[in-house]
Amino acid sequence: MSSRDEVVLFLQPTDSDAAGAPPWELSGLRIFRDGQAYRFEQHMNPGLSEPVPQRADPFDIMGDPRAGAPLDQDGLRRAIDAAVARARAAREAIAARATPEGRRKLVELIGPPADDDDAPVPLGHVSSWDDRIATKAIEALASTGDLDALLDGVARRVGGVSLPMIPESVSGPSLLAAAASPAVPLHRRLAALTLLEIGRFPLSSKLDPSRKHAPQLASLYDDPEPEVRAAALDLRFSAQEPPPPVAAALLARWGRETDAHVQWSLLESAEHFALREKLLGSHDVIEPIVWARRRRRVVDIFLTSTRERRPHVSRVVITARAGDHAAGTLDLMPEMLSGSMSGRTEIDHAFLAFTPPLAPGHYALDLRVDIEDDKKQSLSRRFTLPALRVGGAGAATPPPVPPRRSCACASPGCTSEAEEVEAIVLLCVGVAVARRRRGAGRRDDGSTGGVAPRGGR
């Protein structure tokens, strides 16, 4: 049987109680052409799904260039085997969530540790990615009452995770207390604010008429940690008008803030609360506002202006240094970046792919951002980014991960967490390899309809 005669069908249990209904339904499809696997993506809604090469996930779904060449038949089967193993590990960890070891394994299933710079990383926003195992792991952690483990898990989420409806046992005040405590590790403080951000807890005027938590939230605007200040400013209330303590703290912080990331968040929050004009009239800042961060192998650059001139990034230079030696330099023009522009705001993403590749080791990273406005006036901003650790094999071998959305979704009709994860296993194991009829799927001109290879994503 040649690879061109095969398709791979992913099956999931049906939720129909009708007599005679089939027990399985089609969940996803992989096809082969010239020995390469293809999956399907819907780029427009409404619109048809189009075949695109299937590369190594999760690098591929994230847009990480290290996804490599399209998988062949053996590569796809190995990926499915890895997904099955991960689903089984998830089932076992969920069953053992009452133990410290079970909770540790759940945290590890959600994502790699923050200091793993070789791990896959999204290159900007990723849509249509649903990692149900990570989501179920967070839900299982939330059910244990172990707040530290829950926050560790939330801190590790990378993408494809819809934050669940946390049970009442995890209260808004407990999350606020964790976020406000200097004794709590920074990653847990930020994770607590992430959970508060989903609006599940009584911080809004709708759920908390007394707004009794507003002063505690407003105090975070003056926290010593810039990341905590920015994350606290990202919290929103259901009403357009913020509680008076929040509005007062927001306006007061603008005149004292020197961190560009927090200035950005102040502008965003003021825009949401219809306080932008009042904010800008109270104090001037250095224009434009530019900040940058490193997420593993991706550098994000944020640029905005409070004035009429519209700045844009004209060049990005990133230098990796080993001691006093420049080990590699990236010199990137705008067309070599990915990102988006809206009004006076621009967000760009640069992938740290040096030529030749960096040898294993630790590297200091210097960033220079050249900016030009619509009046052709230019300036540069310089940043020192967190040091980059390059491993040996690093990202050469992707970790075990679930297949893409067609078989990473929990099946309907499950009655318990264990059954839902079991359904993921069955869904990934339930692979039917079917011989296609000679000529099936071919157009009258002899070509294969809808299976043309395409480059990129």
Q: Sign of the C-alpha dihedral, residues 70, 72, 75, 80? A: positive
Whole-number Cα distances in Å, 400 to 196, 208, 256: 31, 43, 47
Whole-number Cα distances in Å, 174 to 145, 148, 168, 171: 11, 11, 11, 5
pLDDT at residue 15, as a whole number: 67
Sequence-separated (6 or more) residues with CB below 8 Å from residue 399: 112, 119
pLDDT at residue 196, as a whole number: 85
Q: Are 181 and 149 in contact (CB under 8 A)?
A: no
The pairing of strands 298-304 and 361-372 is: unpaired
3-state secondary structure of 442: strand
Angle (nearest 5°) at CA 65 between 60 and 68: 70
Structure tokens at 452: 């043309």
pLDDT at residue 22, as a whole number: 67
DSSP string spanning 76-120? HHHHHHHHHHHHHHHHHHHHTTTSHHHHHHHHHHH---TT-TTS-
With a cut of 70, list the residues of the chain below it in pLDDT: 1-5, 15-22, 24-27, 164-169, 198-211, 237-240, 392-457
Helix ranges restricted to H, 96-213 = 100-110, 132-144, 147-156, 172-180, 186-197
Q: What is the residue whose two structure tokens read 């410290």?
A: 100
pLDDT at residue 125, as a whole number: 77
Q: Are 228 and 218 in contact (CB under 8 A)?
A: no
> How far is 160 from 155, CA to CA, in rounded Å?
14
Residue burial 123-133, b: 16+ Cβ < 10 Å; e: rest = beeeeebbbbb
Tell me which residue of 129, 163, 142, 139 sits closest to 60, measured CA to CA.
129
- Domains of the chain are 1-158+404-452 (no CATH), 171-285 (1.25.10.10), 289-393 (2.60.40)
pTM over 0.85: no
Structure tokens at 358: 């960096």
- Count the Cβ atoms, other than its own, within 10 Å of residue 6: 16
